[in-house]
A and B are shown apart, each in its own frame.
Chain A
Amino acid sequence: MALPLRYNFRNVLVRWRTTLFTILGIAAVVAVFVLLRGMARGIERSSGNTGDPRNILVVRKGSQAESGSLVTREQFRTLQYLDGIAKDERGEPVISAELVMIVSAPRRAGAGEANTLLRGVTAGGMELRPQVTLKEGRWFVPGKREVVVAQRLASRFAGFEIGGTIKAGPDRLTVVGHFDGTGSAFDSEAWMDADEARSIFDRDMYSSVLLRPRDEAALTNLVARIQADKRLSLRAEREVDYYSKQTMTAVPIKYLAGMLGVAMSIGAVFAAMNTMYASVAARTREIGTLRVLGFSRAAIVVCFLVEGSFLAMLGGILGSALAWGVYAFVVVRGINFGTMDFQSFAETVFQFRVTPDLMLLGVLFSVAIGLAGSLFPALRAARLPVISALRSL
């Protein structure tokens, strides 16, 4: 049987002065780990939250993103007359050919320039995206060099306020409204009229086509048909599936979280190890006594592993709480974060999210640090010769 947990808890608390810095160190590691994972989670959520499951998005076969795709007008015409597309009240197919361009704009507070996605949409395209709603100002009027930008994007770029201007090719577009993409990838976009965009950028082709099939069966058939048509050479998939795959942006942050997590956890493991070695040294006679009373070597190992884990877990809980505090502050202040999308090289706006499962992951991470840090001290404690341990002062 193992030693009672209260023995471990009290030993950690009794030595609070020596353990405090280890706990704070582990808390810092866990807080950074949880915040970075929270950023990746925010980006993934932004992609996963985009689109309508009833829509099909069509891009050129082989292109990974809309910004790198080309759909000819001929291909669009073919798509337009495919059987199975829903019709609006005028009997027209619910379909939108769109152009996605990258424009460069100055960041706020003189932090240089960054790319942003400019989407040329049609009236149909706006109807196909009910999750995008106007929050301020008005929608653009085609032909007037007007643009409506995402509210979250507006908070990060200079000139994106209503009345401001954005440089687009040889022209300047006037911002006439702000929309809310409800936490989707559209929160990183600026929208203008599709035909006007093709004219400004002198493009003959579109980037993508968004369409609404009549029903679920029609959706399956249309996807299969477009994919199979060798003449079209286009890739069709559910709009939500397309966006949920656009999580590449989160990959570098995930790597960063992983690398920083590993690098910092090595330091934290050594801090925990140092504390636990000191604890073993200070309790040598106590360990000898426990062995004399009949506690096995395994019980001593478990005892110190539990103690190291508990110590680290206190740091983990503190670190997770710290990360949550930062998250709560960011939410209350409405702060948005941005990073570069490595497919379009445009700024992706997101709000990082610290969720209970991430906090739990942070605590588990700290327990792993504690276990790794206390393993060798625990083994040393278990290997102490009983008689010399008893004679220790």
Chain B
Amino acid sequence: MAAEPIVVVRDLSKIYRQGDINVVALDHVSLDITAGEFVVLMGPSGSGKSTLLHIIAGIDRPTSGSAKVQGIDIAQLDESQLADWRNQNVGFVFQSFNLIPVLTAAENVELPLLLTDLNGRERRKQVQTALELVGLADRGHHRPDQMSGGQQQRVAIARALVTDPALIVADEPTGNLDAKSAGDVLAILRSLTLTAGKTVVMVTHDPKSAAYGSRSLHLEKGEIAA
């Protein structure tokens, strides 16, 4: 199968300045991710895996090199274009779920759709579909504090899916979950790649979680280990 790469990273470097010291978070990283892959980024703290994820997802910018997602060099987009691009092309899943506490599950899932041209009825239909996909169709009117951690993370996945993005990025999505809930969440992410053709890039420390991926990459000191 010679699928087109959805993510093409070339010679990517990211250097942070901490006082007088330059900290190299990513050091000339190159990487291709094919559509439908479930890529797991692993490595010790400070290895640069989260930085790589953030740059691919368009929430951080490289110091040098390029990161093309679906052919678009996202480092060239300005702040506003990048916000639109993220809304249309990337779904985010965070370790702490990052749901808005005052909104219900359905309202949280609807948030990214508010930036689209869909009308209220179309938005509600898509929200319902996304909640059904994560098995929470009947919990739409519950607020996050009325749900378990596993359920909250499934709501977050529904929010990541609702705009039908090609790429889903997940930063330690099981870090705050018990083993059972973690298994459920990872199974959903894997099924998204297998049945819906989504590309998932996930950062994790946990080898058990990494086992759900189709490919694992290890980062060490800002470089992809062979």
Chain A interface residues toward B at CB < 8 A: 1, 3-4, 6-7, 10-11, 14, 285-286, 288-297, 386-387, 390
Contact = CB atoms under 8 A, between A and B. Distances in A.
Provide the main secondary structure of the chain B interface.
helix
A295 B115 CA distance: 7
A386 B59 contact: yes
A40 B105 CA distance: 52
A11 B96 CA distance: 20
Contacts of B84: 294
B180 to A, nearest CB: 26
Nearest to B143: A10
Interface stretch (B37-45, B106-114, B181-189): B106-114
A292 B115 CA distance: 12
B28 interface: no
A285 B98 contact: yes
Interface string B58-92: 01100000000000000000011001101110001
B100 A291 contact: no
A293 B113 CA distance: 10
Contact of A7 (B54, B102, B159): B102
B137 interface: no
Interface of B: 54, 57, 59-60, 79-80, 83-84, 86-88, 92, 94, 96, 98, 100-103, 107, 111-112, 114-115, 159
Contacts of A288: 98
Most chain B CB atoms below 10 A, which of A1, A7, A289, A290: A289
Nearest to A286: B100
Contacts, number: 62
11 contacts: A3-B111, A10-B103, A11-B102, A286-B98, A293-B87, A293-B92, A293-B112, A294-B83, A294-B112, A386-B59, A386-B60
> Sorted from nearest, which 5 A-B pairs have the closest CB atoms?
A294-B87, A10-B102, A289-B98, A294-B115, A293-B112
Contact of B83 (A10, A285, A289, A296): A296
A107 B159 CA distance: 73
A141 B79 CA distance: 87
Contacts of A292: 57, 59, 86, 92
A298 to B, nearest CB: 9
A296 to B, nearest CB: 5
Contact of B60 (A6, A289, A387): A387
A289 B94 contact: yes
Contacts of A291: 59, 83
Contacts of A293: 86-87, 92, 111-112, 115, 159
Nearest to A8: B102
B79 A7 contact: no
Contacts of A286: 98, 100-101
A292 to B, nearest CB: 5
A14 B103 CA distance: 11
Nearest to B103: A7
Contact of A290 (B60, B88, B111): B111
A390 B94 contact: yes
B98 A7 contact: no
Contacts of A14: 101-102
B86 A294 contact: yes
Contacts of A297: 79
Nearest to A11: B102
A387 B115 CA distance: 21
Nearest to A386: B59
Contacts of B88: 294
B115 A1 contact: yes
A293 B102 CA distance: 17
A287 B111 CA distance: 13
Nearest to B79: A297
A288 B83 CA distance: 12
Contacts of A1: 114-115
Given A4-B114, A294-B83, 8 more contacts: A14-B101, A292-B86, A294-B84, A294-B112, A296-B80, A297-B79, A387-B54, A390-B94
A295 B60 contact: no
Contacts of A4: 107, 114
Contacts of B80: 296
A3 B114 contact: yes
Nearest to B85: A294
A7 B92 contact: no
Nearest to A294: B87
Contacts of A290: 100, 111
A295 B102 CA distance: 17
A77 to B, nearest CB: 81
Nearest to B51: A387
B86 to A, nearest CB: 5
Contact of A285 (B59, B96, B111, B112): B96
Contacts of B92: 292-293
Contacts of B57: 292
A11 B100 CA distance: 10
Most chain A CB atoms below 10 A, which of B92, B102, B115: B102
A14 B59 CA distance: 30
A3 B102 CA distance: 13
Contacts of B103: 6-7, 10
A303 B21 CA distance: 38
Nearest to A3: B114
A185 B92 CA distance: 71
Nearest to B117: A1
A390 B100 contact: no
Nearest to A293: B112
A312 B57 CA distance: 38
Nearest to A2: B114
A7 B86 contact: no
